[in-house]
Amino acid sequence: MSAQRFLRCCARIVALVSFLMLAACGGGGGDVVGVPPDVTPADVTPPTLSLVTSSPISVTSSVTIAADEPLADALRVEAVGYAREQRGTAAILGSTVTLAADRRSLVWSNPAPPLPYDWVLVLNVTAQDMSGNTGTVTVSVTTELEPAPPGWPPSTIAPVGTKVFGAHQLPAACDTWRSACWQQSVANGSVKFVTPGRGGPRSVVIAYFRNTASRDGVTGLWNVMPFYLDNGAPLSGDIQSSGFTTEVDYVVGSAEGVILHNAGMPTCTELFYGGSGTLWTPRGVACP
């Protein structure tokens, strides 16, 4: 074989080997066989929502919910509320929802302020991120207590075990705990107070007085009623919502609540806190 033919043969072999190597690697400049292209995966993670606002809130305040990523405009907040110790009386509220400029938080506000005092507000929040993923959260806050009336708390409260005699009859105008007559009756000692040994998650005092209500032919009922010690609000909502037609000649705070003695009766009645909000249950007991 001549030198020229040998060189041409070698050149063809080298070209063939180079072609085969390029083919095995997927060609010149294309994607490598078996390796996926560099593509960012789709966002499928829902946003995490969390409560920012701390309790208690003002009755005119709003509630802020934070998100860990920007949110879209698709927001929904369902709001319900109930008196803190009366969960059975829930009310559905309207909702005004505002998205922050950076889209990382939303603000709920009551479209018909103010909210009631001493309420639990529950918000069921649904929000979407910019990829359409939906996040949900349920949060709750409590509203502030109604401010105590002037002259509260009472200056004299009998300790547990001390008998208090002789209920005063209050004027007809003393119909609510916010009335000036009630406040004056508390201040001048016309309403007497005893301390119960137990009374629920908030401290209470027991008021002992008569009102001008009538029942079963009796006018002027004897009342033994619990009031919150922190702001003077009655547990049952109205100072005339309880009453006995037979004379209660003394009351005394007990370990479980309050004991009252009806004049002429050999035994006493104890009103004890049953652990269910404002539920006070009567039972017969020996008189102290």
pLDDT digits (tens, 9 = 90+) for 73-89: 888 999 999 877 665 56
Are residues 167 and 131 part of one domain?
no
Are residues 199 and 229 part of one domain?
yes
**pLDDT tens-digit readout, 223-278:** 998 899 999 988 867 776 678 899 999 999 999 889 999 998 999 999 887 765 55
pLDDT at position 7: 45
Are residues 69 and 111 part of one domain?
yes
pLDDT at position 193: 96
| Mean pLDDT, residues 23-49 | 67
Residue 148 lies in a domain: no
Is residue 32 pLDDT above 70, yes or no? no
Confidence band for 125, pLDDT divided at 50, 70 and 90:
very high
Under DSSP, is residue 245 helix (H, G, I), strand (E, B) or coil? coil
Residue 6 lies in a domain: no
Where do we find the tokens 């490598």? 32
Please calculate the CA angle 60-66-70 and round it to the nearest 5 degrees: 130
Closest by CA position to 150, among listed 231, 220, 82: 231
Are residues 132 and 183 part of one domain?
no
Where do we find the tokens 């909210």? 115
Residue 88 lies in a domain: yes
CATH of the domain at 91: 2.60.40.1220
Torsion 113-116-117-120 (CA) sign: negative
Are residues 171 and 281 part of one domain?
yes
Please state, in angstroms and rounded to a whole number, the distance separating the CA atoms of residues 91 and 119: 11
pLDDT at position 165: 96
Are residues 169 and 100 part of one domain?
no
Domain end marker among 141, 173, 198 = 141
| Mean pLDDT, residues 93-112 | 92
Into how many domains does the chain fold? 2
Domain end marker among 91, 108, 141 = 141
Mean pLDDT of the chain: 84
Q: 40-54, 130-144, 160-174, 199-213: which has the minimum mean pLDDT?
A: 199-213
Residue 81 lies in a domain: yes
pLDDT at position 173: 85
Are residues 202 and 124 part of one domain?
no
Is residue 20 pLDDT above 50, yes or no? no
pTM, two decimal places: 0.70
Please state, in angstroms and rounded to a whole number, the distance separating the CA atoms of residues 42 and 38: 13
Please state, in angstroms and rounded to a whole number, the distance separating the CA atoms of residues 240 and 185: 14
2 CB-near residues (< 8 Å, 6+ apart): none
Residue 147 lies in a domain: no
Q: Which domain holds residue 117?
A: 49-141
Please state, in angstroms and rounded to a whole number, the distance separating the CA atoms of residues 95 and 157: 44
Are residues 183 and 77 part of one domain?
no
Is residue 12 pLDDT above 70, yes or no? no
pLDDT at position 57: 96
Are residues 176 and 97 part of one domain?
no
pLDDT at position 242: 74
Residue 151 lies in a domain: no
Please state, in angstroms and rounded to a whole number, the distance separating the CA atoms of residues 43 and 56: 37
Residue 226 lies in a domain: yes
pLDDT at position 155: 92
Confidence band for 22, pLDDT divided at 50, 70 and 90:
very low
Q: Are 233 and 152 in contact (CB under 8 A)?
A: no
Closest by CA position to 166, among listed 243, 227, 258, 247: 247
- DSSP secondary structure code for residue 154 in this structure: P
- 133-142 in b/e burial notation, b at 16+ Cβ within 10 A? bebebebebe
